[in-house]
Each structure stands twice: as C-alpha cells, then as structure tokens.
Amino acid sequence: MTALGILKQHFGYDSFRNGQAELISHILQGQDVFGIMPTGAGKSICYQVPALMMNGMTIVISPLISLMQNQVSALQANGIPAVCLNSMLDETAYKSILSRIYRGEIKILYTAPERLVTPSFQRIARELPVSMITVDEAHCVSQWGQDFRPSYLNILPFVELLPRRPVLSVFTATATPEVAQDVRKLLDLHEPFCLTTGFNRENLYFSVRQPRDKLQALLEFVKSRQGKAGIIYCISRRLVEQVTEELHRAGIPAVRYHAGLTDSERRQNQEDFIYDRVRLIVATNAFGMGIDKSDVSFVIHYNMPKNLESYYQEAGRAGRDGSPAECILFYDSGDIRINQFLIENSGDNPQIDDKTREKLRRKEKQRLTIMQNYCTGAFCLRYYLLNYFGDTSPKYCGNCSFCRTHSEQKDITQESQKIISCIYHLHERNLHFGASELTAVLRGKVLKTHPEIAELSTYGIMREVSEKACLEMITYLISIGLLSVKEQNILYLNRKAGLFLKEQQKLSMPVKKALSTAETASGTSQLSGTDEKLFQLLVQCRNTVAKKEHLPPYVVFTDMTLRDMCRKQPVSDMAFLSVSGVGRVKLEKYGDAFMTVIRNYRT
C-alpha cells in the first residue's frame, strides 16, 4: 500500500500536510531526516506512516510516559499495532508486551531515553530488526535548548550498539538555528534531509495583557469561555493553588497540576482534563509535553515564562486540531524578578563544569530579556515570535493583540537617530549598557556608577519622552534588527544601524491602543444555529463512545472532524469515509453510531 493509502485507511485524511510527504519519502529511501514543525503540524504522521511500510519495528524515543501513552492509544484506535514500554507497567503487562514484540506483532514501540541504557532493552534492539529510530522532542538533546535532558545523550551510544544502523528520524517543534545545529551534531545524523515547515500557527491568536488585577481579568476571561477546554499556566505551585481556589470560589470547575502533588493526584487530574471530565486545568510547566489534547481552545499564561521557546511550546497546546484558539499572556514587571531568581537558583546539572554552567545562565538571562521584549514591545507579536525562530513573517499578521488594536504608524526617525547616536558615544568611552541604563542616559538620569556620563552631548537628549515610550522604541529597534543584544543584555550597534544613519532612512513604529478585557480572538468560527445543535449531538455521541472504549474523546474524533460531519451530514459508508479524519478502521468501529445520530437529526 502507498503512503497516501495508509494515511487514508488508518488516519482518515485524503492528503498530506505541508512537509509530511517529503519527509516520509526520504525516510522510505533510507535517509536520515530532521523535521522542525510547529505543534499541531502533524509530526507524528511523518514517522508513523513509514513505520507501517518498512520491514521491522520502529522505536520512538519520547520524554514522558503520558505523551507515549496518548500516542499509543491514538494509534491503537486507528488499528495500528503500537505499544509503550515504561516504568508504570506491572510484571504481567510487561511480559505480555515483550511476547508480542518477539512474535513480530508490533510495528511501533515507544520508550523513554532512560530505558536505552538497560541491558534488557538493548537485547531487544539487537535481536530484532529495527528499521527506524525516531527521536521526538529532539531539542531535549541540546544543552542550549530550553528543555535539556541528559538522558537524551543516551541515544547515540544506543544507536552505535545496534548490529545495523537504522534510519534516524528526528523531530521537534521549537528549535532555534543554534539548537538545530547542535541536534544534528549530537545525534550524528548522516547527511540528513532537513525540513523546517515554518513555525507559524495561523489559527492561534496571540495577546499580551497587563491587567491591574490579574485574578479578576482571569475570572472574567474564563467565564466568557464557559464550556471551552483551557490550560492556565502559573509560575509557581503557590500560584497554582491560589488560582485554583479562586476559580472554585467563583463556581468554575478546575483541577490543579504541579510537582508538589502526589503521583496519583497528578495522574487523576490529568486524566480528568484529557477525558473531558473537567474542562480547565491550572498548572506549572510540570504539565508539559505529555499533553496531546487536540481541542484546547485557550492557553493562558498567568505569568511571563522565562523564554520564548517555553512560551511557544506551551501556548502551542491550544488549537492542535486547527480550530481558532487563543494564547493569552498576563504580564507584570514582578514576573521578571521571579524568573531572574529561578535562573540564579536553578538546579545544577552535575554533568557540566562551572564554566559551561555560567555560560548557560548567561544564555538564560538573554532569553529572559527577549521574552520581556515580547511582552512590552510595540510590534506584531507573531512577527516577533517567528523572527526569533529564524522564520519569515510580515510585520502585520491581523491576528494578535497588537495588530488588531494598533491605531497608527508613528514616525520615530529622530528618536531612533538619537538612540543610535547615544550608544555610539557611550561606546567611544568604552561604556556598554542595557536598555534600562540607556533609557536613563537618554532621559538625563545620572547613573551613580558613571557620573561622567552627564558630559555626553547625547545626555538627556530625550528628556521629553517617557521611560515607557523610550523602552518601547529601543525594543522595537531590537526587533527589526537595528540594534543587537549580546551577553549581559548589552546593546550594540551593527551594520544595519550604520546604514540607517548614513542613508538618512525614515522609520515608523506602530503604536498600540489599550486592550479591553472582553477582547476575543478574530476569526473564531461559530456554527450556524442548526449545525450547532447537530454538533452538540455528535459531541454527546462521541462522549458515549469514548466512555465505552475508555478513550479520551478527541481520540475517537476531533472537533474538526465533528464539524466536517456537520457540514457533510453523511449517512452512508462512502460518504462517512469522505469526512476528514475518518479512516476505514474508525468507520467500522464508530460509523453506525454517528450516522444514526445524523439520520435522526435529518428526519
């Protein structure tokens, strides 16, 4: 069967998404691949389809048990022989899985990187034909990434133990060019086919808000999205407890998730959220990569994360099924101090030396500044995000809080010239400052450590500009590449700044208006009244089937598939197969139940 045939039969899709066909083709030709694709772009299809077409078994290395279990449940629901070896299995279940593996019944085996060093697992890999090894969340292998996990360094030695080197397929959603280069080197990819499909998620609406009362703003937002599935990220366990308690006090059902809870409560709360027994979860970033729930309508960051990589990965858990979804960040300056404290007091990794440890901390501080600029700058949020990851984007997206509320372009040519000139004159005196110190100089505030600055010709040259406006302009100049930021968040001039002055270029900056609390995502699709009724009937049917099958509802069918059913209203097998997300296996399992609902609705 062809790759397209497998896609339709097992996954129910008529065509591949951007990049999937190319990656699959190179895997089937025996070539290593490295795919950088945003959350929700269909990375798993890229290795699951060829895994079914290759002789032997595919081993998928994944960081979390919950992530592996979700993937295996979805594959089994699609009629694909997949299993997961993890520490949660009892002896009977473990032996049963081993027996199926040795009988050659399993095509896809999920495991954690820690298991690669165990003699029993190494024996399995040496004795059985392994056609491919897939590394999921591959950025974890790089110490320069935001989620470095030393256990990922077990992967290359494990590959080198095998009697025959299998194809390596490597995937991640968040990797800067620096991290991507590190991944290729550390996994020793052999002339890999590398593909970045782009980081843009058009269905996601990005917003940064600075409410006077975060809790009140949160309650108003959640009440306006009643019935929608959402994740609220908090920076500490204490805040998770506080926010959850306030939601309960307001009559809003929610569960909590953080590392201070018992394993059983964390597992139960996560299952309640995934199985739709509760629609809202409040969590620290401990609630992470294991979440594959496709119908999350909004992700709220109650505090600013410490870097853009973490933010984009966490925010990207919204709208995985392609539906419009909201990514809201509540910001205040106190978040900076908390993150600085976390960076300075982060747990030390015994596998790195003091020099490297200090270099990593400096890198984290740089990332924090970039994250702060995202929250405080006057520019398109999507442009800033994509530009950071090396992707191209227009400076106006139309689907973020800035683009939807900015009122006009403000000419900042003179102000920009003053800022650049001030940096130049400071550098002449061998003085190098960050944005806050530079703002003080521009506004005529004497720095106690450098009183001689008052003699500069550019000292106080922007006294009439407020501190906030001055910082916004500096942040904007950084975002468009006129200023560079290096270690210790120091500002430097570059070639582009020199050309700006020499050629007397004009420059405008978009100016934003204040946001209203009731702001909603643009383009949020609403079904017509009639279709909404059918949609709710199909949701009820899905919940009944999911409960009977002991599956999360989205594993049965996603919201996008149910909406396609509403549009097509199929009542025959052939028509049901035309629905996006319906394959032969799911037709046979669930077709009668859903078509009965549609027939009854139409009569």
Q: How far apart are the first and last CA of the chain?
A: 39
Question: 350 versus 257: which is more confidently predicted?
Answer: 257
Report d(CA 113, CA 310) in Å as an integer.
Answer: 21
* Confidence band, pLDDT 50/70/90 cuts, at residue 601: very high
497, two tokens = 């700044």
Three-class DSSP category at 164: coil
Taking a C-beta distance cutoff of 8 angstroms, is the pair 282, 218 a contact?
Answer: no
pLDDT, position 518: 42
Single out the residue of 200, 201, 203 nearest to residue 522, CA to CA.
Answer: 203
pLDDT, position 557: 93
391 has a pLDDT exceeding 50: yes
pLDDT tens digits along 275-309: 899 999 999 987 765 567 888 999 999 999 999 98
Distance of CA 230 to the CA centre of its chain: 15
* Mean pLDDT over each residue of the chain, to the nearest integer: 88
The pLDDT > 70 percentage for the chain reads 94
339 has a pLDDT exceeding 50: yes
pLDDT, position 134: 97
40 has a pLDDT exceeding 80: no
478 has a pLDDT exceeding 50: yes
pLDDT (mean) for 98-125: 93
Single out the residue of 223, 322, 355 nearest to residue 279, CA to CA.
Answer: 223
pLDDT (mean) for 190-202: 90
Q: What is the set of domains in the chain, with CATH numbers?
A: 3-196 (3.40.50.300), 204-376 (3.40.50.300), 413-506 (1.10.10.10), 529-602 (1.10.150.80)
Would you tell me how many other CB atoms lie within 10 Å of the CB of residue 245?
A: 13
pLDDT (mean) for 82-90: 88
Q: How large is the C-alpha radius of gyration of the chain? A: 26
pLDDT tens digits along 425-448: 999 989 999 998 999 999 998 787
Q: How buried is 103 (Cβ within 10 angstroms: 0-12 exposed, 13-18 middle, 19+ buried)?
A: exposed
520 has a pLDDT exceeding 90: no
527 has a pLDDT exceeding 60: no
Taking a C-beta distance cutoff of 8 angstroms, is the pair 175, 388 a contact?
Answer: no
Taking a C-beta distance cutoff of 8 angstroms, is the pair 537, 225 a contact?
Answer: no
pLDDT, position 291: 66
pLDDT, position 400: 92
411 has a pLDDT exceeding 70: yes
Single out the residue of 167, 161, 175 nearest to residue 192, CA to CA.
Answer: 167
Lowest mean pLDDT among 217-226, 403-412, 446-455: 403-412
The CA-atom distances, in angstroms, between 549 and each of 264, 544, 545 are 22, 9, 6
